[in-house]
Amino acid sequence: MWFVYLIQGQRGSLYTGITTDPKRRFQEHSARGSRRGARFFHSEKARAMVYLEAALDRSAASKREAEIKRMRRSAKLQLVAAFQAAFASKARNLAWRSAKMVKQPG
């Protein structure tokens, strides 16, 4: 499976890319002196992966990457906000379910 991702730099810039392993790719971008990270991060440190979208194959991921790169910054920020809101909602749901499953003493 392929993924399209956005990484926010330390100064707020957004970098768009594709990968099969988001965790590994973020580490490559974050590593100082790494030749495997994007040149973009030579001047600005990667702060966080702020958006992640699954794609069926490399072709679909590349097309979506190009689409996102053509977006204005404001549209990218809306994409990030919607993704983070959905992620936070799922995390709250999971935490609530987990808390319900824990037996209360007494």
With the CA atoms of 23, 25, 27 and 30 taken in that order, what torsion angle do they form, in degrees rounded to the nearest 10?
-140
Q: Per-residue pLDDT tens for 18-76? A: 999 999 888 887 776 556 655 566 567 778 889 999 999 999 999 999 999 999 999 99
Average pLDDT value for residue range 2-22: 91
Of residues 4 and 34, which shows the higher confidence score?
A: 4
C-alpha span between 94 and 4 (Å, rounded): 25
Domain boundaries, the chain: 2-101
pLDDT at 35: 60
Domain 2-101 architecture:
3-Layer(aba) Sandwich (3.40)
Q: How would you list the strands of the sheet with 46-55, edge to edge?
A: 14-19, 2-9, 46-55
Of residues 11 and 41, which shows the higher confidence score?
A: 11
**Confidence category of residue 106, pLDDT binned at 50, 70, 90:** very low
Is the pLDDT score of 16 beyond 60?
A: yes
pTM of the model: 0.77
